[in-house]
Amino acid sequence: MSDIKLHVRNTEDGQEHVIDCPPDIKAADFIAELIEGLHLPAADWVLDDEECAATLDPRASLISNGVANGHHLRLRRNGTDLQKAPHKHVTPEEPPAKGRVEEYIEPPPVKKVQLDDDRKLWQWLTASLALIVLLLLLVAAVRWLLLVPPRIAVTLTPKNATVLVSERARFTVVVKGTRNQEVRWTLNPALGNIAPDGVYAAPPLAEPGQTVVITATSVADPSRSATARIVLRPNPQIQISPATATLGVSQRIQFAASVTGATNGAVHWSISPQLGTIAPDGTYTAPASIPSANTVTVTATSEADPSKSTTATISLQPTLPSTVLSVQVSPYHPSLTMSEQMLFRARVNGSTNQRVTWSASAGSITQGGAYTAPSSIEAGTTATIMARSVADPSKVGRAVVDLQSVVTLRIGPSSVTLPPSQRQQQFTAFVTGTSNDGVRWSATAGTITPSGLFTAPEPGRVPQSVRITATSVADPTKQAWAAIVVAPGTAPRTPEGGGVGGPHEATGLILWSGMLDAGGLLTIEGFRASTGQLLRGGLPGVPVTIDVRPLELVGVQEAPGPANGWKKLVIRSKRKLHAVITIEWKVVH
């Protein structure tokens, strides 16, 4: 057991001494050593612990008396209670206390600490101070490293590239100074698009020499970025219509050129050999005299890229006497509906000149024979198509088109949600394609009047879906639908995640409203729908069983399961419909 250091003050002379002693020494033995060491007269001496304000038991050890290292002890004669003297030496020059004559006594020798212990203490203090300074420097360095982010650098390759329209080019980005290699891509101007992996897709059209600047900005440090320059090169593709033609003396034909792969769609027209003329708009005129049969090549050259061109061929026929016998039009008796199109052809019998002029009593027809039926047709009407010979205008061919009306029907509004405070909703039917706009109304729940005024059933505890059907009187095969959701009388509790049946519920209800084509797909992922409107609820993402209604209209193509994380449901429509689909789910424990 190591010694403890004590501060002992002698009340006789006020001197304080620093003494090392074992803590297990008895108080009586320690007092005897003090009397001997301080050369005190024999008397009844006691020790007081000034830290605890208690007198030590002489029969017990110092440690048993509660004396610890650094305590201040007071040595006094038993029966005296002197005041605490100041900690200083009494010198011979100080006058004695009044009424009392004292003789100056040389203070007794003090027990000194060994020089080696002082040196060891000093070395320990120096080492401790150096360790503390080192720790402080280490903490400061760590804080500097944490507070000062590393310098991030972004490099992008290649720096320059030339890309054809509609083609792709890959760019590689490296972010140094951070583990986060993610970047944000931008294009200036916004021509084409770039994927997150750096694959750039050029636009389908471009001007010669047009450039795009690609910028990759570090997500870790948005102030760091790199750029690359793309030069877009057009790739014009030209088509001529018609590709071939046969003309006689002074006849004309209009050529049209379509250019893809360049924003400049203009072309330069030329002919070879120089027989006849061609205008800047592509109109070719045959020569006034054709001594013999010949062939002319018409060339359309792209102005955006003069290296790209295409040709058409004209056969020039010499003037021959001919007699037009008749003109035949095909097809002869077709049937068309509103705005439907059909191409008619004319054959001129008895003449090499097959040119005709077209006309129609209803609808419209181009001089190429392309006919378009009227947009509005009354039942039982027809249109007469006429082709008049250019060589002999007295010869006309005819065709008759049966025009059939098509009834279309829609309902407004197409979907609605009725709160408990609203009991009625007016629906309107819009009928086209017939003069009879009458409809018959029906509802799967509640009531609806012949004028389309719907009265909802009494609200229940859960939402009710109602389907409204309008059937055309003119054509009962034509129907339209609307969807109504009747809100419950007491609003169900909405869990976390939104909608009835959140992720913490054992059961849930999903309501969807919208339009689906025959064979169309509806995908519900979590609380989102691929089309239409998700009126309520969503999939919780836990093992569930589902019940989809109405099964006569829709079927389940993909159910929630482990493969899709229990968050995906794919429904296929059995026919074209506009309805409310109800999906109930239960958690499988």
Q: What is the DSSP string of 188-228?
A: ES--SEE-TTSEEE--S---TT-EEEEEEEESS-TT-EEEE
Say which CATH class 408-486 falls into.
mainly beta
**319 pLDDT band (50/70/90 cuts)?**
low
Numbered ranges of CATH 2.60.40.10 in the chain: 237-316, 326-404
Question: Other CB atoms closer than 10 Å to residue 284's CB: what's the count?
Answer: 22
User: Amino acid identity, residue 93?
Assistant: E
* pLDDT of amino acid 100: 36
Distance of alpha carbon 71 from alpha carbon 219, whole angstroms: 64
Residue whose C-alpha is closest to residue 177's, from 148, 199, 197: 148
Asked if pLDDT for residue 272 goes beyond 90, the answer is yes
Residue 77: which residues within 8 A CB-CB, separation 6 or more? 11, 12, 43, 44, 45, 46
* pLDDT of amino acid 63: 86
Residue 292 CA, chain-centre distance (Å), reads 70
Task: Please write down the HEC assignment for all residues of 484-499.
Answer: EEECCCCCCCCCCCCC
439-468 residue pLDDT tens: 999 999 899 999 999 998 888 777 888 889
Superfamily of domain 326-404, CATH level 4: Immunoglobulins (2.60.40.10)
Token pair recorded at residue 100: 């009392």
Architecture of the domain made up of 237-316:
Sandwich (2.60)
Numbered ranges of CATH 2.60.40.60 in the chain: 408-486
Q: What CATH number does the domain located at 1-112 have?
A: 3.10.20.90
Numbered ranges of CATH 3.10.20.90 in the chain: 1-112
Mean pLDDT of the 205-223 span = 90
365-401 residue pLDDT tens: 999 999 999 887 776 789 999 999 998 888 999 999 9
Please enumerate, as own/partner, the contacts of 394-400 that have beta carbons within 8 Å and a separation of 24 or more.
395/324, 395/325, 395/326, 395/327, 395/348, 396/327, 397/326, 397/327, 397/328, 397/329, 397/346, 397/347, 397/356, 398/329, 399/329, 399/330, 399/331, 399/332, 399/333, 399/334, 399/344, 400/332, 400/333
Asked if pLDDT for residue 311 goes beyond 50, the answer is yes
Query: Which residues are registered as beta bridge partners of 432?
Result: 408
Question: Other CB atoms closer than 10 Å to residue 153's CB: what's the count?
Answer: 14
Question: Other CB atoms closer than 10 Å to residue 493's CB: what's the count?
Answer: 8
Mean pLDDT, all residues of the chain: 84
Mean pLDDT of the 338-361 span = 91
Residue 127 backbone phi and psi in degrees, to 5 = -65, -40
Any idea which fold 153-233 has?
Immunoglobulin-like (2.60.40)
Distance of alpha carbon 545 from alpha carbon 583, whole angstroms: 10
Residue 228 CA, chain-centre distance (Å), reads 25
**432 pLDDT band (50/70/90 cuts)?**
confident
Whether 17 and 75 have beta carbons less than 8 Å apart is answered as no
Q: Where are the alpha helices (DSSP H) in 475-584?
A: none
562 DSSP 8-state letter: G
Rg (CA), the chain: 53
Numbered ranges of CATH 2.60.40.1080 in the chain: 153-233
Whether 68 and 36 have beta carbons less than 8 Å apart is answered as no
**534 pLDDT band (50/70/90 cuts)?**
confident
**254 pLDDT band (50/70/90 cuts)?**
very high
Asked if pLDDT for residue 253 goes beyond 90, the answer is yes
Using alpha carbons only, what angle is made at residue 134 by residues 128 and 138, rounded to the nearest 5 degrees?
A: 145
Residue 186: which residues within 8 A CB-CB, separation 6 or more? 214, 215, 217
Mean pLDDT of the 555-578 span = 88
Percent of residues, the chain, with pLDDT higher than 90: 35
* pLDDT of amino acid 150: 67
Q: β-pairing, 428-432 with 396-404? A: unpaired
261: left (phi over 0), alpha (psi -120 to 50) or beta: left
Distance of alpha carbon 429 from alpha carbon 422, whole angstroms: 21
Percent of residues, the chain, with pLDDT higher than 70: 88
Whether 5 and 67 have beta carbons less than 8 Å apart is answered as no
3 state DSSP class of 543: coil
Determine whether 186 is exposed, middle or buried from the number of CB atoms within 10 Å of its CB (0-12, 13-18, 19+): middle
184: left (phi over 0), alpha (psi -120 to 50) or beta: beta
pTM: 0.29
